[in-house]
Amino acid sequence: MMHASDRNRLTKRQTALVLASTDMKHARAALDALENEHASVHLMRALETAIFVSYARAFTQSSLLQLNTDEFRPVDRNLAGLHDDLLQLRDKAYAHTDKDSGRSITVEMTQTTVSEDSAGTGVRRLDLTTREQWRPLNREAIPAIRRLIDEVEWAFSKEAMGIQARLDTDS
């Protein structure tokens, strides 16, 4: 019979794994939506953020349980590099605004004539024009990111199922 503390430890890890698996499904849904979005820059930016934040959530500090990044790093060298890139970009560009995030802003004051009176004197209005620049997600990377998300999601699910089998056997 499994000791209660072991059962609790396994149950806590299983909870973290199932939540992490769900986060991968969220990242995948955002990736699928981004692949089909070409009109709204704001929606594309929100979807990019959802991809990176959802993917990295399982590996960030948590009061529940932080899963070890290296433990779930894919064996495939290319996917492992992509895994590391997603985690780094989450920290630098998507969950925080660091100097090297790729985000910048251009601000310009413009003056426009709104109306003119009979003497030809114009009423002028000042406007602030801003443009934000960012490094968009490379759309060509979407298939590789999809493979990575699917592989990591399967690893989470597989381990969670294994824990359930252990818990069921011990009951």
Distance CA 27, CA 155 (A): 15
Instruction: Give percent of the chain above pLDDT 90.
Output: 61
Distance of CA 87 to the CA centre of its chain: 9
Q: What are the structural domains, with CATH classification, of the chain?
A: 4-103+139-170 (1.20.120)
Whole-prediction pTM value?
A: 0.82
Distance CA 6, CA 163 (A): 11
| Region 156-165 average pLDDT | 96
Model pLDDT for residues 51-109, shown as the tens digit of each residue: 999 999 989 887 777 899 999 999 999 999 999 999 998 988 887 776 777 777 788 88
Q: pLDDT grade, residue 22 (50/70/90)? A: very high
Q: pLDDT grade, residue 128 (50/70/90)? A: confident
